[in-house]
Chain A
């Protein structure tokens, strides 16, 4: 196990290095820079050049690259170009907890609802409950996130006036964003759960359990679920990484101060340090999440052995 972890650790560092390098040069290859005008031209060129000089953008790209690597080795992601008094570390440290909080609730909701729907439809195969959950799941997978969020905002906030529209200041503020985030994953988990459950229920040991007179709920929740859940755990890695780091659409529509939006606005602003910093953070997060899933896998499924 220890050897495996060490191996994974070095592989991760290499991955991060490649990720940073590619992002750095791609980002600079895109035309336009952080101080290029966006809406109207206002700042004279000579003044703009002075600002670029201050941020070291006049240096050759290779020098900038080495400087960035040096500072990131010390954990310093630099200042945002757009909001010159905010560091990227600050941006992440205050935005990530917000995104993560909403994301965590969404993960829990997605898991509970998705699994229950999946199990129900597997057990009630061919009955109305199965049809209903699978129609819901198909709809959930097909309708894009931005349609659902805007529709919900309109329905619950404007028409029914039940829920608030922006921010996260009370539990009521969480409802719409959580549904918006969880909707797709619920559908996906439900379908995954259904097919995996159906497969497990056909296995001999289930037949044995039933023959022994084990109550059906125990057959399902104790014997079948344990094996049926494995594909869900696999899906959990990317899901956790995606939901905890925030969603551009949901955060934008519900004005949530998370980091999901920063990525996209960072790119359109050419805010180099924000783009790189968030890429590094997201990259690390996905690597760690996948690693945890791999370890979990071994714990849940004894048939999987981690190679020493």
Chain B
């Protein structure tokens, strides 16, 4: 009897060891890739490696219809599937013609005439027409469609009016003159209009498929105009993208397959990258990134965004610019970035981030041309606070700082709290809120200091400065300056770049003097790519683009 029991136990052991035994005899995932290698195509200079990249996103894209999309994650996928009139070039910095051959601009600076390339085709081979663009743009603005992306097209004449049911579709300033000519009329001269054309909301969709229910859910009806097309759609698991042979510049696309897999946990993504199961990764925790910071796998690219804190200028003591300034210049941004965020990003001593070219010296960054607009100085901060009537923080009202309930936000808040205590003698309370209710707290004004952030849409200082205009600050900073608003309004109407840049610098100076917000750091996008993967592009909005990528 004892023997029989022994057998049972042995069987049990066997069951557990079978799993271990078999798996150890299996090939490692890197090996699997080799096994699937396809023979190099006989096109001469085609490299021998399989032209396939597996890239991970944290979740499935929320929206696959570019005319409805406002999400950053979805934009990454859409930027690889679609192209519009213009695209961001290989440097990731400036717009170049894509489906359009070029444009003509009239004397008023508001009427663009685009010629669409005769060879521009949908992924099913049919030509892309001016009518496709007219249909798509009007779809974005159509009040019945209720697209969240509509505001991106408010630059177009009567765009906003149509979206708000104040004008008819015919009044909107976009018109297909013939198959290949698109006339676009804008509300104002917009020097960054070509950059705007690279936002997914300006990409075309085709009427005959869009009008079918659920066109984004099947590769058959999902027609694209970009370097890749969708060939397999496994919800929550992966999307498989193949090179689109009908893409205008298909001859330049080297990658055959782009597999986008969805890995939610950052630990798992780090494991998958380390294990070689994915080749490009950008959803890794700061701790994980740190391991790779000194390897050739690591890249960090400026994004046109900034983390900052709002001061509530309607509440004491922050109704006084001196107090706001004292708080802002008494912290150590470098320390926060290096020790708390653990990244290689740059501290923000201005409001316009890196990644935005100067309007006059196009090869230079606006930030470098203008320089820092303020600097840290604890002694000066103490003096300002005393001048405001709170020497060494005495008599200052109770201050509440609110942040979102994420670990990194809480860590930053605690660092700020101790810096202010140490340098100014001020106590600050921290309150955390879940992200979905956080913005309501700001809107209701239940804060003195609030964590905030912004990433622009196009590389022009306007995208980062217009959020501080009076019309936009009523819900957060509760600060406004007539002069600031005037400078920006003027810049909307002129196209003289020298004058524009001068106005932007003046506007930034106002922000630095009044300090209604406290800039912390300019965002950079960090990502990892295996050393044999070349040409992966992060553009200035943080989208990962594989059009120019290949495997060596």
The contact of A217 among B1, B72, B437, by CB within 8 Å, is: B1
Shortest CB distance A18–B (Å): 26
List CB contacts (< 8 Å) of A12-59 with chain B: 31-33, 35-44, 46-48, 50-51, 53-54
Counting CB contacts under 8 A, is B256 at the interface?
Answer: no
Knowing that A53-B146, A257-B234 touch, tell me 12 more A-B residue pairs with CB under 8 angstroms. Answer: A82-B62, A83-B60, A85-B65, A86-B235, A154-B271, A157-B272, A158-B270, A165-B263, A166-B277, A167-B238, A175-B23, A253-B268
Q: A265 vs B216: C-alpha distance in the bound complex, in angstroms?
A: 22
The contact of A40 among B150, B270, B437, B453, by CB within 8 Å, is: B453
Counting CB contacts under 8 A, is A153 at the interface?
Answer: yes
Counting CB contacts under 8 A, is B496 at the interface?
Answer: no
List CB contacts (< 8 Å) of A250-277 with chain B: 252-255, 257, 261, 265, 268-270
CB–CB A255/B263 < 8 A: yes
Contact flags B432-453 to A (C-beta < 8 A → 1, else 0): 0011110110000000000001
CB–CB B9/A129 < 8 A: yes
CB–CB B65/A36 < 8 A: no
CB–CB B146/A158 < 8 A: no
CB–CB B151/A44 < 8 A: yes
List CB contacts (< 8 Å) of B4-44 with chain A: 4-5, 8-9, 12, 15-16, 19-20, 23-24, 26, 28-29
Measured between beta carbons, the chain B residues less than 8 angstroms from A162 are 20, 23-24, 26, 28
- CB pairs A–B below 8 angstroms (19 shown): A32-B440, A36-B437, A37-B439, A43-B151, A47-B147, A47-B163, A54-B146, A84-B63, A85-B63, A116-B8, A124-B5, A161-B275, A162-B23, A168-B237, A216-B1, A257-B236, A257-B262, A265-B59, A268-B436
CB–CB B12/A153 < 8 A: no
Measured between beta carbons, the chain B residues less than 8 angstroms from A253 are 265, 267-268
Shortest CB distance A95–B (Å): 7
CB–CB A252/B264 < 8 A: yes
Q: A41 vs B164: C-alpha distance in the bound complex, in angstroms?
A: 20
Q: A165 vs B72: C-alpha distance in the bound complex, in angstroms?
A: 25
Residue of A nearest to B60 (CB): A83
Counting CB contacts under 8 A, is A172 at the interface?
Answer: yes
Question: Known: A36-B439, A172-B26. Is A167-B453 also a contact (CB below 8 A)?
Answer: no
Shortest CB distance A110–B (Å): 13
Q: A241 vs B362: C-alpha distance in the bound complex, in angstroms?
A: 62
CB–CB B214/A85 < 8 A: yes
Q: A124 vs B348: C-alpha distance in the bound complex, in angstroms?
A: 68
Measured between beta carbons, the chain A residues less than 8 angstroms from B8 are 116, 120
Shortest CB distance B477–A (Å): 13
CB–CB A41/B439 < 8 A: yes
Q: A36 vs B442: C-alpha distance in the bound complex, in angstroms?
A: 12
CB–CB B63/A165 < 8 A: no
> What residues make up the interface of B, taking CB atoms closer than 8 Å to A?
1, 4-5, 8-9, 12, 15-16, 19-20, 23-24, 26, 28-29, 56, 59-60, 62-65, 68, 70, 72, 143, 146-148, 150-151, 163-164, 214, 216-217, 234-238, 261-265, 267-268, 270-272, 274-275, 277, 434-437, 439-440, 453-455
Shortest CB distance A238–B (Å): 25
CB–CB A217/B4 < 8 A: yes
CB–CB B436/A270 < 8 A: yes
Q: A269 vs B265: C-alpha distance in the bound complex, in angstroms?
A: 17
CB–CB A95/B1 < 8 A: no
The contact of A163 among B23, B56, B64, by CB within 8 Å, is: B23
Q: A84 vs B272: C-alpha distance in the bound complex, in angstroms?
A: 30
The contact of B143 among A38, A50, A94, A154, by CB within 8 Å, is: A50
Counting CB contacts under 8 A, is A239 at the interface?
Answer: no
Counting CB contacts under 8 A, is A140 at the interface?
Answer: no
Q: A79 vs B217: C-alpha distance in the bound complex, in angstroms?
A: 14
Measured between beta carbons, the chain B residues less than 8 angstroms from A112 are 15
Q: A39 vs B72: C-alpha distance in the bound complex, in angstroms?
A: 10
Q: A165 vs B29: C-alpha distance in the bound complex, in angstroms?
A: 10
List CB contacts (< 8 Å) of A97-136 with chain B: 112-113, 116-117, 120, 123-124, 129
Measured between beta carbons, the chain A residues less than 8 angstroms from B150 are 47, 50
Q: A164 vs B23: C-alpha distance in the bound complex, in angstroms?
A: 10
> What residues make up the interface of A, taking CB atoms closer than 8 Å to B?
31-33, 35-44, 46-48, 50-51, 53-54, 82-86, 94-95, 112-113, 116-117, 120, 123-124, 129, 150, 153-154, 156-158, 161-168, 172, 175, 215-217, 252-255, 257, 261, 265, 268-270
Measured between beta carbons, the chain B residues less than 8 angstroms from A42 are 70
Q: A85 vs B151: C-alpha distance in the bound complex, in angstroms?
A: 21
CB–CB B64/A36 < 8 A: no
Measured between beta carbons, the chain B residues less than 8 angstroms from A32 are 434, 436-437, 440
CB–CB B439/A255 < 8 A: no
Question: Known: A46-B164, A253-B268. Is A164-B29 also a contact (CB below 8 A)?
Answer: yes
CB–CB B24/A257 < 8 A: no
Residue of A nearest to B9 (CB): A120
Residue of B nearest to A123 (CB): B5
Measured between beta carbons, the chain A residues less than 8 angstroms from B5 are 120, 123-124, 217
Shortest CB distance B431–A (Å): 14
Measured between beta carbons, the chain A residues less than 8 angstroms from B262 are 255, 257
The contact of B151 among A47, A165, A175, A269, by CB within 8 Å, is: A47
Residue of B nearest to A32 (CB): B436
CB–CB B275/A165 < 8 A: yes
Shortest CB distance B95–A (Å): 21
Q: A217 vs B275: C-alpha distance in the bound complex, in angstroms?
A: 46
CB–CB B146/A167 < 8 A: no
Measured between beta carbons, the chain A residues less than 8 angstroms from B64 are 85
Measured between beta carbons, the chain A residues less than 8 angstroms from B29 are 161, 164
Measured between beta carbons, the chain B residues less than 8 angstroms from A157 are 271-272, 275
Question: Known: A167-B238, A216-B1. Is A268-B434 also a contact (CB below 8 A)?
Answer: yes
CB–CB B148/A48 < 8 A: yes
CB–CB A51/B267 < 8 A: no
Q: A78 vs B446: C-alpha distance in the bound complex, in angstroms?
A: 35
Q: A255 vs B268: C-alpha distance in the bound complex, in angstroms?
A: 8
Measured between beta carbons, the chain B residues less than 8 angstroms from A40 are 453-455
Residue of B nearest to A42 (CB): B70
CB–CB A43/B70 < 8 A: yes
CB–CB B261/A255 < 8 A: yes
Measured between beta carbons, the chain B residues less than 8 angstroms from A31 are 436-437, 440
Q: A255 vs B434: C-alpha distance in the bound complex, in angstroms?
A: 24
Question: Known: A154-B271, A257-B237, A261-B264. Is A85-B217 also a contact (CB below 8 A)?
Answer: yes
Residue of A nearest to B22 (CB): A172
Q: A117 vs B146: C-alpha distance in the bound complex, in angstroms?
A: 59
CB–CB B437/A257 < 8 A: no
Q: A270 vs B434: C-alpha distance in the bound complex, in angstroms?
A: 12
Q: A95 vs B235: C-alpha distance in the bound complex, in angstroms?
A: 9
Measured between beta carbons, the chain B residues less than 8 angstroms from A153 are 267-268, 271
Measured between beta carbons, the chain B residues less than 8 angstroms from A53 are 146
Residue of A nearest to B272 (CB): A165
The contact of B216 among A85, A116, A217, by CB within 8 Å, is: A85
Question: Known: A47-B148, A162-B24, A217-B4. Is A84-B68 also a contact (CB below 8 A)?
Answer: yes
Measured between beta carbons, the chain A residues less than 8 angstroms from B214 are 85
Shortest CB distance A104–B (Å): 17
Measured between beta carbons, the chain A residues less than 8 angstroms from B28 are 161-162
Q: A13 vs B390: C-alpha distance in the bound complex, in angstroms?
A: 65
